[in-house]
């Protein structure tokens, strides 16, 4: 473990933003991680770099996690429990499960990032959230340097939220996650509009988890930019949840308003729709832009700085507030 000086993080964050890590070290095992933490308290943890916008050089010691590996820890007739280390690539893990016919995360195909990030913001797509299949999150307590285990109920999972983003932010490093997956009698989630349409088009009546994964990959590839080709961090904002009064007021003037009803007084409105109505879709401000097919995704066309992307995000927030009276909340972590 060698501490390097002035490392450019462009290739370590999916936005592809250039900032310097004044000090940088890579760790391969929890033991190495502990060793570093024993000597350095002022640290910045970097895993897959998929849900962050870096706006300035990092003065703290950047600890790049490269802790890989996975193993089946328990098996019954119905279920398999897989313990996956924090730096395993999420999508590769999904493909491994689909290949082994382990069900539960096929709807979460092609989400960028590493496994350790999945509980932090409770990744979700096409009717499934990762909380549905997580049994345990194993962490290292940064202060005490002891192991801390969180069972699902202790994680306070919510929409793109968990205690790791809120109450316990910065206190723990996730080292591995245990998933409970089905070996048979899979629960297939095919209600999401775009999945349904594709199943009908392909005349698939009883989809397998492989069918669902393939379809999700096709839908995402069509709409969402590949961070390897165009820097981005997925949805930049959360979809806002508004009261019935606010919802009804907007719907009155916009009959085509898409929405998800959460309960009788709460409606989730797609932020992508709000942003598109403010005419930002496909707009560019230097190298910072709004994706042309999904307005919820901000992109780096090459050499945008984090500040330029943040300025664009602020401009969008202001316009959405002016036009709809709704305050958008960022989903991506800003540093
Ligand atoms: N829409 C527009 N204009 C746009 C984008 C969307 O009008 O530019 C409309 C669509 O027409 C559709 C609705 O908004 O009626 C919903 O769009 P979409 O199905 O693309 O989903 P989303 O609500 O925008 C959420 C997640 C995505 C996830 C999809 C599918 C959040 C913040 N985002 O997006 O997650 O893949 O649903 O489940 O909840 C991510 O978190 O990085 C992410 C990509």
Write the DSSP assignment of 64-120 as a string of letters. EE----EEEEEE-SSEEEEEEETTSBHHHHHHHHHHHT-BS-GGGTT--SBGGGTTT
pLDDT at 334: 96
Quick check: 249 pLDDT over 90? yes
What would the pLDDT profile of 200-247 be if each residue is shown by its tens digit?
A: 999 999 999 999 999 999 999 999 999 999 999 999 999 999 999 999
Q: What percent of the chain has pLDDT over 70?
A: 100
User: What residues does each domain of the chain span?
Assistant: 4-65, 70-182, 231-334
Mean pLDDT confidence for 28-56: 96
Q: Is the CB of 270 under 6 A from ligand 1?
A: yes
HSE (side-chain half, CA atoms, 13 Å) at 333? 21
Which of ligand 1's atoms lies nearest the C-alpha of 125?
A: 38
Q: What is the pLDDT of residue 69?
A: 98
Q: What is the mean pLDDT of the chain?
A: 96
- pTM, to two decimals: 0.95
Residues serving a catalytic function are 160, 235, 331
User: What is the Cα–Cα distance from 23 to 36, expressed in whole angstroms?
Assistant: 12
C-alpha 52: how far from chain center: 10
Q: Does domain 231-334 have CATH number 3.40.50.720?
A: no
pLDDT for 161: 94
- Looking at domain 4-65, its CATH class is alpha beta
Average pLDDT on 273-302 reads: 97
pLDDT at 113 over 90: yes
Q: Is 189 in the pocket of ligand 1 (CB under 6 A)?
A: no
Q: Is 45 left (phi over 0), alpha (psi -120 to 50) or beta?
A: beta
Phi-psi region of 30 (alpha: psi -120 to 50; beta: other; left: phi over 0): alpha
pLDDT at 316 over 90: yes
pLDDT per residue as tens digits for the range 162-208 = 999 999 999 999 999 999 999 999 999 999 989 999 999 999 999 99
Residue 168 Cβ < 6 Å to ligand 1: no
Report the C-alpha gap between 42 and 170 in whole angstroms.
11
Q: Identify the pLDDT of residue 57.
A: 98
The CA R_g of the chain, rounded to the nearest whole Å, is 20
Q: 70-182: what CATH class?
A: alpha beta
CA-to-CA distance for 30 and 36, rounded, in angstroms?
A: 10
Q: What is the pLDDT of residue 171?
A: 95
Concatenated DSSP letters of 241-298:
EEEHHHHHHHHHH-TT---EEEETTEEE--HHHHHHHTT-TT-EETTEEE-SS-TTEE
pLDDT per residue over 251-262, tens digit each? 999 999 999 999
Domain pair 4-65 / 70-182, same fold: no
**Where does the pLDDT of residue 1 fall: very low under 50, low under 70, confident under 90, or very high at 90 and above?**
confident
Pocket test for ligand 1, best of 131, 212, 272 (most atoms within 8 A of CB): 272
């Amino acid at each position: 473990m060698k501490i390097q000086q002035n490392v450019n993080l462009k290739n370590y964050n999916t936005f592809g933003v250039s900032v310097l890590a004044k000090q940088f070290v890579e760790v391969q095992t929890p033991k190495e991680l502990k060793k570093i933490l024993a000597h350095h308290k002022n640290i910045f943890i970097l895993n897959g770099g998929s849900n962050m916008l870096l706006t300035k050089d990092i003065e703290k010691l950047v600890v790049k996690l490269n802790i890989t590996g996975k193993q089946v820890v328990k098996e019954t007739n119905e279920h398999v429990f897989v313990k996956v280390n924090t730096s395993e690539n999420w999508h590769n893990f999904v493909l491994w499960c689909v290949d082994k016919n382990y069900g539960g995360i096929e709807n979460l195909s092609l989400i960028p990032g590493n496994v350790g990030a999945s509980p932090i913001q409770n990744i979700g797509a096409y009717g499934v959230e990762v909380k549905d299949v997580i049994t345990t999150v194993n962490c290292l307590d940064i202060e005490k340097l002891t192991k801390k285990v969180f069972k699902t109920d202790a994680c306070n999972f919510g929409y793109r939220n968990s205690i790791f983003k809120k109450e316990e932010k910065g206190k723990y490093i996730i080292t591995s996650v245990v998933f409970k997956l089905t070996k048979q009698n899979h629960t297939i989630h095919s209600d999401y509009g775009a999945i349904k349409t594709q199943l009908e088009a392909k005349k698939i009546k009883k989809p397998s988890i492989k069918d669902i994964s393939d379809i999700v990959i096709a839908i995402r590839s069509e709409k969402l930019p590949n961070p390897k080709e165009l820097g981005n961090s997925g949805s930049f904002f959360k979809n806002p949840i508004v009261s019935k009064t606010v919802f009804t007021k907007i719907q009155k003037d916009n009959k085509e308003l898409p929405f998800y009803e959460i309960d009788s007084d709460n409606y989730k409105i797609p932020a992508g729709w709000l942003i598109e109505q403010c005419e930002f879709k496909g707009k560019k401000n230097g190298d910072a832009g709004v994706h042309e097919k999904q307005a919820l995704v901000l992109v780096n066309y090459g050499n945008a700085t984090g500040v330029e992307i943040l300025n664009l995000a602020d401009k969008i927030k202001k316009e959405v507030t002016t036009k709809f009276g709704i305050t958008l909340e960022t989903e991506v972590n800003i540093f």
